[in-house]
Amino acid sequence: MAIRALIHIMSEDPVLGELDEMPDPTHMFLKVRNPTRKDGKPLTLLDERATSIAYPWSRITFVEFFNEDSNREAVMGFFRESA
């Protein structure tokens, strides 16, 4: 079962994709399948036929993981408490 992840890369827009398994920090690269922009549009720098990409850990700031049943739209957002 694929793990949905949002990969934050230094000086670039985040990449949304699927991982085969949880990343191993001892590996040199993070392999991402079906990479797209955060809004689901294709990445402009990749060939349209590319199905996977490998990012070196040295370029990755952090990675967000999502469950398939989670719904990011359900987040209410930020609020302020009135004093």
Model confidence pLDDT, tens digit, residues 6-40 = 999 999 999 999 999 999 889 999 999 999 999 98
- Does 48 score more than 70 pLDDT? yes
pLDDT, position 31: 95
Where are the chain's structural domains? 3-68
- Which of these, 75, 60, 64, lies nearest to 17 by C-alpha position? 64
Question: Residue 43 in contact with residue 37, Cβ under 8 Å?
Answer: yes
* SS3 assignment, position 48: coil
Q: How far apart are CA 15 and CA 38, in angstroms?
A: 6
pLDDT averaged over the chain?
Answer: 85
User: Is the pTM of the predicted complex or chain greater than 0.85?
Assistant: no
* SS3 assignment, position 56: strand
Q: How far apart are CA 8 and CA 55, in angstroms?
A: 10
Q: Which CATH number fits domain 3-68: 2.40.50.140, 3.30.830.10, 2.60.40.290, 2.30.30.100?
A: 2.30.30.100
Give alpha helix (H) positions in the chain. Answer: none
